[in-house]
């Protein structure tokens, strides 16, 4: 054992390690530190003691295995503060459990920044539960800082994990079942500066601009410390405990907690897998949305430890990877813009969308779920979706050239805010239509922060660098647009109360149980027949409740996305099924989702322009099993 004079003074002893895993781990006699170091380079461990000089311990070359160097250290305290040094450059451990001496969000990195490690046990209060199925899940996506930073948020310690925890009662009242956090691990929010003062034409103005880089509020970068909760989102000096307390609070209140991770190609699949397992094991995370170019889906999807953990990917073919397996829990979800663009086209009244619309509202593949959303961080918020057609990203500093150029939106007659009541009323109706499309489609719906009351970013569709009121959620919208918020709450509740709106399997469009009606059917001006021509913009969708355990119950969605009124036939009206209207998006003031006492006697219903009407149907007991079932099925169009 080689013990230097300095080490003797510090009562620290070292020996070459034998770890094949980078990072820090506790041993029976102390700690083992390991680091990836290319051959031919020297590296050392830097240990920090308060009021004492830094203790430097070289990594012995004889410990090398491939590009891993390691050293075992005995005689140091439980709580460790350390860094690594390679060829004289001080770096942080990319696998550090937390960072110390960090600055506030967006501030320059401290010269004393270092890594931390300590035995810090947390007693979990929430009981372990079975994971909620994707069919029963309603997601709410938020960014920890921007969710509560606005002065109107009404919470203490704004922009932190504690502040998010204070919003749990609101999330419960909204009715969502899971929270999806945008990157909440340590990442470098201040963009690294590339000095270009040697280039011709490099001005003092450009230099000053580069010395004050933009702030990456979202965290989609590979410049990250994936094992550590972000200390800038922490109200205390203990990000590990605070993050665990937040997750525990979610679980105690019946909410699941999921996280987004962004991996570049440099991150190996095995390393990414280990990161997810760590967060699952250490922080009890319920699921992950995996982003970036460093994703190998099969590695995650076939991992036994994550088989009960929700996993979302941009594009995924569950059958290709898992086909032939007997699934005990469908944990994989497809997360992309397919639903968003289809529904926005339909909402605008565009042509040639009927076929895809029918595909999207029923889609729920056997081996993976589908995450449906009308807005995400990329692009317009839902409030801006009905108020803007062009991006307004001037404040991003790129001459309005960044962000999506095509937004697939309609401003309802005026760009941006307006006082015209007819436009404001139309926007309100369109937002209700959008939420109805989202909540009454199969799959897993997701709401982006603040969309439930029409939060606006003033037309900025790429607010990644806006750590200000433009990018923060404005909670004054709860009162200002309270009618929309109330509608969304009722729509969420209606979905949860009706299993046929979120079935475990995709509707087949046939009466495969011989119950008298198909599980899902489509209707137009005539019952059981839908014109799918390019100009078709209205339809009726009927769900048969018998396929979801709702005896003799039906739900009928009458949708008119045209700017003209149309009539839609009601199947079984006046004969077998009693239809009652329960919601219409064209009504400014109404008792939404409360069935009317009046039974519709007509065989058709007129749908006003750009309106969705929901009807509840009850089959007459005397009519059960009667009627020409074969005739109905032969006329059914799928």
What count of Cα atoms within 13 Å lies in the side-chain half-sphere of residue 261? Answer: 28
Of 33-37, 377-381, 403-407, 591-595, which range is least confident?
A: 591-595
Among candidate residues 34, 142, 181, 115, the one with its CA nearest the CA of residue 452: 142
Which residues have CB under 8 Å from 634's CB, separation 6+?
A: none
The β-bridge partners of 114 are 100
pLDDT tens column, 526-579: 999 999 999 999 999 999 999 988 888 999 999 999 999 999 999 988 778 999
Cβ atoms of 339 and 441 within 8 Å: the answer is yes
| DSSP H or E run through 485 | helix 482-497
* Beta-bridge mates of residue 72: 15, 32
Q: What is the mean pLDDT of residues 218-242?
A: 96
- C-alpha separations of 457 from 138, 324, 482, 608 in Å: 24, 46, 18, 31
Q: Using alpha carbons, list the distances in angstroms from residue 58 to 18, 118, 416.
A: 15, 22, 61
pLDDT of residue 635: 46
- Which residues share a beta bridge with 31? 26, 73
pLDDT in tens, 427-438: 999 999 999 999
Indicate whether 78 pLDDT > 90.
Answer: no
* CA 377 – CA 385 distance, rounded (Å): 13
> Is the per-residue pLDDT at 211 higher than 90?
no
Asked if the model's pLDDT at residue 381 lies above 60, the reply is yes
DSSP state of 600: B
Question: Which part of the chain has CATH 2.60.40.10?
Answer: 13-117
Residue 153 has pLDDT above 90, yes or no: yes
Compute how many other C-beta atoms are within 10 angstroms of the C-beta atom of residue 586. Answer: 18
Q: Contact 374/382 with Cβ under 8 angstroms?
A: yes
Band (291; pLDDT cuts 50, 70, 90)? very high
Kindly indicate the confidence band of residue 205, based on its pLDDT and cuts at 50, 70 and 90.
low
Residue 111 has a pLDDT of 82
CATH topology of domain 520-631: Immunoglobulin-like (2.60.40)
Q: What span, in angstroms and rounded, lies between the C-alpha atoms of 130 and 139?
A: 17
Q: Which of 58-72, 106-120, 396-410, 442-456 has the lowest mean pLDDT?
A: 106-120
Q: What token pair was written down for 455?
A: 């939060």
Instruction: Write down the pLDDT at residue 590.
Output: 58
Angle formed at CA 497 by CA 493 and CA 500, multiple of 5 degrees: 120
Tokens 């080490």 appear where? Answer: 7
Q: Has residue 175 got a pLDDT over 80?
A: yes
The single residue listed with the structure tokens 């590339």 is 194
Closest CA to 42 of 93, 89, 4: 89
Per-residue pLDDT averaged across 189-204, rounded? 61
Of the candidate ranges 222-226, 308-312, 616-620, the one whose mean pLDDT is the lowest: 616-620
Classify domain 134-191+213-499 by CATH number.
3.20.20.80
Contacts for 123 with CB less than 8 Å, ≥ 6 apart: none
CA distance 518 to 634: 11
Distance CA 65, CA 60 (A): 11
pLDDT the model gives residue 29? 82
C-alpha 95: how far from chain center: 25
Asked whether the beta carbons of 533 and 548 are under 8 A apart, the reply is: no
Confidence of residue 408 (pLDDT cuts 50, 70, 90): very high
Q: Which residue has the higher pLDDT, 442 or 295?
A: 442
| pTM over cut 0.95 | no
Has residue 8 got a pLDDT over 60?
no
Question: H-helix or E-strand containing 260?
Answer: strand 256-262
Q: In the chain, list all ranges with CATH 2.60.40.1180.
A: 520-631
Q: How far apart are CA 525 and CA 276, in angstroms?
A: 51
CA distance 207 to 73: 45
Average pLDDT over the chain reads: 91
The region of weakest confidence among 114-118, 130-134, 629-633 is 629-633
Given a contact cutoff of 8 angstroms between Cβ atoms, the answer to whether 300 and 333 are in contact is no
d(CA 621, CA 578): 11
Backbone angles phi, psi at 584, to 5 degrees: -145, 125
Where do you find CATH 3.20.20.80 in the chain? 134-191+213-499
**Interacting residues of 215 by C-beta distance below 8 A, sequence separation 6+:** 105, 106, 189, 190, 191, 465, 467
Distance from the Cα of residue 622 to its chain's centroid: 47
% of the chain residues with pLDDT over 90: 76
Secondary structure class of 351 (helix, strand, coil): coil
Closest CA to 446 of 143, 178, 170: 178
Helix axes 338-348, 354-362, angle to 10 degrees: 130
Order across the sheet with 31-36: list the strands: 13-16, 68-74, 31-36, 23-26
> What is the token pair recorded at 225?
């410390």
Q: Is the predicted pLDDT of residue 75 greater than 70, yes or no?
A: yes
- pLDDT at residue number 20: 82
Residues in the chain: 638
Give the pLDDT mean for 391-411. 95
Give which of 514, 524, 608 is closest to 564, Cα–Cα: 608
pLDDT surpasses 80 at 192: no
- The answer to whether residue 628 scores a pLDDT higher than 50 is no
Q: Flag whether pLDDT at 183 surpasses 90.
A: yes
The second-level CATH assignment, the architecture, of 13-117 is: Sandwich (2.60)
| Most distant CA atoms of the chain, gap in Å | 97
d(CA 331, CA 181): 18
Is residue 1 scored above 70 in pLDDT? no
Q: Is the pLDDT of residue 453 over 50?
A: yes
Provide the percentage of residues in the chain whose pLDDT is more than 70: 92
Average pLDDT of 205-227? 83
**3-state SS string for 83-100:** EEEECCEEECCCCCCEEE
Q: Interhelix angle for 269-283 vs 239-252, to 10°?
A: 70
CA atoms within 13 A on the CB side of 292: 22
The answer, yes or no, to whether residue 54 has pLDDT greater than 70, is yes
Contact partners, residue 303, CB within 8 Å, separation at least 6: 273, 277
Section 6-21 average pLDDT: 73
Question: What separation in angstroms does the CA of 235 have from each of 142, 156, 216, 431?
Answer: 18, 9, 20, 35
Copy the structure tokens of residue 207. 């230099």
């Amino acid at each position: 054992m080689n013990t230097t004079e300095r080490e003797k003074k510090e009562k620290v002893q070292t020996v070459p390690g034998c770890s094949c895993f980078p990072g820090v781990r506790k041993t029976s006699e102390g700690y083992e530190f390991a680091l990836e170091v290319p051959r031919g380079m020297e590296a050392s461990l830097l240990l920090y003691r308060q009021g004492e000089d830094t203790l430097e311990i070289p990594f012995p070359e004889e410990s090398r295995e491939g590009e891993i160097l390691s050293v075992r250290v005995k005689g140091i305290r439980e709580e460790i503060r350390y860094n690594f040094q390679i060829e004289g450059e001080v770096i942080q451990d990319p696998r550090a459990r937390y960072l110390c001496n960090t600055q506030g969000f967006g501030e320059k990195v401290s010269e004393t920044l270092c890594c931390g490690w300590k035995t810090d046990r947390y007693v979990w209060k929430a009981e372990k539960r079975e994971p909620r199925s994707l069919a029963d899940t309603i997601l709410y996506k938020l960014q920890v800082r921007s969710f509560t930073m606005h002065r109107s948020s009404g919470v203490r310690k704004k922009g932190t994990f504690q502040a998010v925890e204070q919003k749990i009662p609101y999330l419960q009242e909204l009715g969502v079942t899971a929270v999806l956090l945008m990157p909440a691990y340590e990442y470098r929010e201040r963009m690294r500066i590339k000095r270009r003062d040697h280039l011709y034409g490099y001005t003092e103005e450009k230099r000053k601009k580069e010395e004050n880089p933009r702030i990456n509020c979202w965290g989609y970068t590979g410049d990250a410390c994936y094992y550590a909760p972000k200390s800038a989102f922490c109200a205390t000096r203990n990000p590990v405990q605070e993050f665990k307390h937040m997750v525990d609070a979610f679980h105690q209140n019946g909410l699941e907690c999921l996280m987004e991770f962004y991996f570049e190609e440099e991150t190996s699949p095995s390393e990414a897998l280990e990161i997810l397992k760590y967060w699952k094991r250490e922080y009890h995370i319920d699921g992950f949305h995996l982003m970036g170019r460093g994703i190998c889906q099969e590695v995650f999807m076939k991992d036994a430890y994550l088989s009960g953990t929700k996993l979302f990917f941009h594009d995924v073919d569950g059958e290709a990877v898992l086909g032939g397996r007997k699934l005990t829990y469908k944990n994989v979800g497809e997360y992309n813009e397919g639903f968003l663009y289809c529904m926005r086209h339909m909402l605008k009244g565009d042509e040639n969308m009927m076929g895809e619309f029918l595909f999207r509202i029923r889609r729920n593949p056997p081996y993976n779920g589908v995450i449906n959303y009308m807005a995400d961080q990329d692009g317009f918020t839902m409030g801006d979706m009905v108020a803007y057609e062009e991006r307004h990203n001037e404040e991003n500093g790129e001459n309005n050239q960044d962000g999506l150029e095509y937004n697939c939106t309609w401003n309802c007659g005026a760009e941006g805010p307006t006082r015209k009541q007819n436009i404001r009323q139309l926007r309100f109706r369109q937002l209700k239509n959008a939420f109805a499309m989202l909540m009454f489609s199969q799959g897993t719906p997701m709401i982006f922060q603040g969309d439930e009351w029409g939060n606006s970013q003033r037309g900025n569709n790429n607010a990644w660098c806006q750590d200000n009121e433009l990018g923060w959620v404005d909670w004054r919208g709860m009162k200002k647009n309270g009618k929309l918020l109330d509608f969304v709450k009722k729509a969420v509740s209606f979905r949860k109360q009706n299993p046929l709106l979120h079935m475990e399997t995709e509707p087949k469009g046939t009466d495969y149980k011989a119950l008298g009606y198909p599980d899902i059917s489509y209707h137009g001006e005539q019952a059981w027949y839908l014109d799918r021509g390019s100009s078709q913009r209205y339809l009726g969708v009927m769900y048969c409740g018998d396929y979801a355990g709702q005896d003799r119950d039906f739900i009928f969605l009458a949708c008119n996305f045209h700017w003209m009124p149309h009539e839609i036939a009601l199947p079984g009206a006046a004969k077998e099924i009693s239809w009652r209207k329960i919601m219409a998006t064209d009504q400014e003031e109404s008792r939404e989702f409360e069935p009317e006492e009046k039974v519709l006697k007509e065989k058709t219903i007129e749908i006003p322009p750009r309106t969705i009407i929901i009807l509840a149907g009850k089959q007459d007991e005397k009519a059960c099993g009667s009627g020409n079932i074969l005739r109905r099925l032969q006329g059914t169009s799928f």
